Amino acid sequence: MTLNIKWLGVDFGQCLMDPRGLRNPLMFGEIMRDLGRPEEIAERIHRYRRMKEKYQNYSLMKEGHRPEIREYVFGNDDEAWELFSEYEQRLLMPADGIAETLAWLREQGIICDVVAELKKTLGPIGSDHVTMFLQRQGLSQYFDYFYSPSGRVRLSDGKADFGCQGKDKTSGTMYDYLLEDLARRGINIDECAIIGDKLSTDIEPSRRRGFHTIQFTGYIDMGPSEYAEYRVESFPQVKEFVKGVK
């Protein structure tokens, strides 16, 4: 079955970003040893895990609750927080085959945007962990916009606007906004697809609103869903069924 689209919205955490290199003992070990306080490693990991219990998974916690990580896990220690962001970037990898697949999608005339849950204030490109990752990995060239509850950024020049401020994927208000915004950009809903790993934030709310849906199971497989029209375990697999609308 072919999926003809003009637009693909790509989730960040556990989707275009491969988190497998990010092991807590490794990361917190390095951070606290760098700071000369190895005796705190266990306590920091413990706090980090308690926060994860509260928010269910690391990707939601890291995309939506970074100020709380800084405060609760690191006691607002600026130096530790900077090292955390640095190691995180160093240990995060792009998903296998992502650059090649994005380049192929663009060749088909398909516009790609990032849709993620970042809640910090938007600064220049590279000042938040999502755009920093895209830049460092050479991926920002494949995306037009980055949509988040903090606003929308154009990746070519960093121009920000705030129409989607406060909208999120969990409640679905981000998808309501995307529908309006994509219509303004001349794209119809039946030519749009979302790819992401989480059923409750990426798949269900978007499919309910008429987006096509591709469930990405490369790192976490949340199981089949009536809302997931397609399932892929790697990015290059989308080339088997996606086609651009001419």
Which is closer to Mg ion, CB of 54 or CB of 159?
54
Q: Give the nearer residue to Mg ion in terms of CB position, either 105 or 194.
A: 194
Footprint on residues 3-22 left by Mg ion (CB under 5 A): 11, 13-15
Using the structure block, give the residue that is written with the tokens 């700071």: 35
Closest residue by beta carbon to Mg ion? 13
The least distance separating Mg ion from the CB of residue 199, rounded to whole angstroms, comes to: 11
Binding mask 23-62 for Mg ion (x = CB under 5 A): ------------------------------------x---
Per the DSSP assignment, residues forming a β-bridge with 115 are 147
Q: CB 221 → Mg ion: shortest distance, Å?
A: 12
Find the binder of Mg ion among 88, 168, 197, 204 (CB under 5 A). Answer: 197
Give 69 or 220: the residue with its C-beta nearer to Mg ion. 220
Nearest approach in angstroms of CB 206 to Mg ion is 13
Chain positions contacting Mg ion, by CB under 5 A: 11, 13-15, 59, 197
